[in-house]
A and B are shown apart, each in its own frame.
Chain A
Amino acid sequence: MTELRMMATTGMLGYGYTEEAFRRGISLKPDFIAADGGSMDPGPYYLGEGVPFVSRQAIKRDLGLMLEAGIEHNIPVLIGSAGGGGSDPQVAFVREVAEEIAHEKGLKFRMAVIHAEQPKDYLKKKRAEGRIRPLGPIAELTDEGIDETHRVVGMMGVEPFQKALEDGAQVVIAGRATDASIYSAIPLMRGYEPGLVWHLAKIIECAGQVTTPRFGQDCVLGTLGDGYFLVEPGHPDKRCTRMRIAAHTLYENPSPYHLVEPDGTLVTTGSEYEQIDPRVVKVTGSRFEPANSYTVKLEGVRKTGFRTVFIAGVRDPVLISVIDEFVASCHERVAGEARSLGISQDSYRLNIRVYGKDATMGPREPMRDSVGHEIGLLVDTLADDEDTSKAIMAKARYALLHTDFPGRKCISGNLAIPFSPSDMPVGMTYGFNVWHTMELDDPLEPFPIEMVEV
């Protein structure tokens, strides 16, 4: 079996990579190059709004080099979870950047655009068939829950990538996809051992994360052979160490031994890691256990209201000593003021966080009584409309600034407010309300492919 080589340019399209590593990687003649474009790390907002969490310039730079080299060397260029959340507007955003690059550089290619956003009717049909289940500690999905959602994506496996490539696409801009599917699609088509394929894909999808020294993102090369795979950095001055490679399956996963994909589970209990030269690690023994059914993950968000944010410092030691009681009395005062404006208490949320005490860990903070000479208040309000959100914040600001507390001497104001304007509306917010799996008969069904001649 001849070796198959792949290059992951960056762990996140738009996080960057060095041109030096990229050129060296290309000189080693990879069979395809790819990058993951997505993550749910930054929270539900980006999926909700349908916008990327990296800049357009950064996406254009990272994608530009890849498209140019891919077309020049006639190899596939694959992007998964385009635009961050892989929803329709995010995919459209990356597609448009790709078309702009092609136009500017005079590149011509066939491009597949794969959609991952899921219509509510389709989800309701699947739910009625009993094929949607919670993934972890979250409630069963109901029709009301589906109606409440603002946007839902399904996480595709390798099949839509493979179909796009079979149909002649050289560039694939895919919506939400499992990180490892991006890198597994081609090797599985060519008959490489699934355990090794999925494990390699899982390791290189975060690209530069598995290299040392670890400054910034960078390209990583993976090579599949008969019974093994190799991982090495693109950059000549970086190394992959046995430890770093072995440790990678710990990252962001509940278990390092079992990594679930749509059609089965990667099992690394028998994996062996060998440092074959100072830069390269060889892995053997990884297995893939096929599942009885094909399931994709669903990620969805609902609107959680307009947010307004306010930040202020407290330096008065007397106030710091009674801060919990003070915050409670301000909540009460705001509720009364809201009523006078005709705003009921259940139509807004006011959250007053005390930095320097327990704002990072909340009720899990073991040291909440150990407080320094200064604390920070971060206040946020949520309401269905922006006016209410701002109105509650104005009342909260006033209450915090001027409410009395026992022993108060600072009667001209309780807060150091750093900004004018002090209240910052940040727009609509979203919360995850779909974190489920959906069983499919056909892995292509919810992921329509659009072919474009660029």
Chain B
Amino acid sequence: MTRLVDLAQVLRSKNAGALLCTLDMMFEDEETYRRVRDSGAITPQRIAKLYGVSDNEVAIIPYDVAYAIKITIPRLVPSGDPGDTDVYGAQQHAPLLDIEIPD
């Protein structure tokens, strides 16, 4: 097993508009990208559990041309609403770091 943080070149989060949060993971080379993409470790069920949302609120889009996987989930509250914790949504990626990818 290898932790995702040790395989990805980029692991980031950001608002996709005021209502959604998008999580991007990007890889240095095609081999690593395919290994993660095809690992079965990045599933809506898994992400839903990590972020406390329901499965059908998670969208996962592999993006072969940039060796990237994009995940989009709803924000807890709209950006900047009372109670928001992260207006830009730039620090919501940490739970992804520890996802284990089979060797």
Interface residues of A (CB under 8 A from B): 40-45, 135-138, 243, 246-247, 250-257, 271, 273, 299, 304-305, 349, 351, 353, 359-364, 366, 382, 429-432, 435
Q: Which residue of B lies closest to A245 (CB)?
A: B66
CB <8 Å contact, A43 and B87: yes
CB <8 Å contact, B52 and A253: no
Q: Please, which residues of chain B bring their CB within 8 A of the CB of A246?
A: 65-66
In the bound complex, CA of A41 to CA of B63 (Å)? 24
CB <8 Å contact, B92 and A364: yes
Q: Please, which residues of chain A bring their CB within 8 A of the CB of B68?
A: 247, 250, 256
CB <8 Å contact, A252 and B14: yes
Q: Please, which residues of chain B bring their CB within 8 A of the CB of A382?
A: 82
B16 within 8 Å of A (CB atoms): yes
CB <8 Å contact, A366 and B50: yes
CB <8 Å contact, A44 and B79: yes
**A-B pair number, CB within 8 angstroms:** 126
In the bound complex, CA of A361 to CA of B85 (Å)? 6
CB <8 Å contact, B85 and A359: yes
CB <8 Å contact, A430 and B80: yes
Interface residues of B (CB under 8 A from A): 14-20, 22, 24, 26, 50-52, 59, 61, 63, 65-68, 70, 72, 74, 76, 78-88, 91-92, 94-95
Having A305-B82, A361-B86, one finds 4 other A-B pairs with CB under 8 Å, namely A138-B19, A255-B70, A363-B52, A364-B52
Q: Which of these, B20, B24, B26, B65, contacts A136 with CB under 8 Å?
A: B20
In the bound complex, CA of A135 to CA of B20 (Å)? 11
- 10 closest A-B pairs by beta carbon, nearest first, are A43-B80, A247-B66, A246-B66, A43-B87, A136-B19, A44-B80, A431-B81, A254-B72, A432-B78, A432-B18
Q: Which of these, A243, A254, A351, contacts B82 with CB under 8 Å?
A: A351
Distance from A376 Cβ to chain B, minimum over Cβ atoms (Å): 13
Distance from A295 Cβ to chain B, minimum over Cβ atoms (Å): 15
In the bound complex, CA of A366 to CA of B49 (Å)? 10
CB <8 Å contact, B59 and A254: yes
Would you list 15 pairs from A and B whose C-beta atoms are within 8 A, ordered by A residue? A44-B81, A137-B20, A243-B67, A246-B65, A246-B66, A250-B66, A250-B68, A252-B16, A254-B22, A254-B59, A254-B70, A271-B65, A360-B85, A361-B95, A366-B50
Distance from B97 Cβ to chain A, minimum over Cβ atoms (Å): 10
In the bound complex, CA of A366 to CA of B78 (Å)? 21
CB <8 Å contact, B81 and A353: no
CB <8 Å contact, B61 and A255: yes
Q: Please, which residues of chain B bring their CB within 8 A of the CB of A247?
A: 26, 63, 66, 68
Knowing A136-B20, A271-B65, A364-B52, the reply to whether A429 touches B82 (Cβ < 8 A) is yes
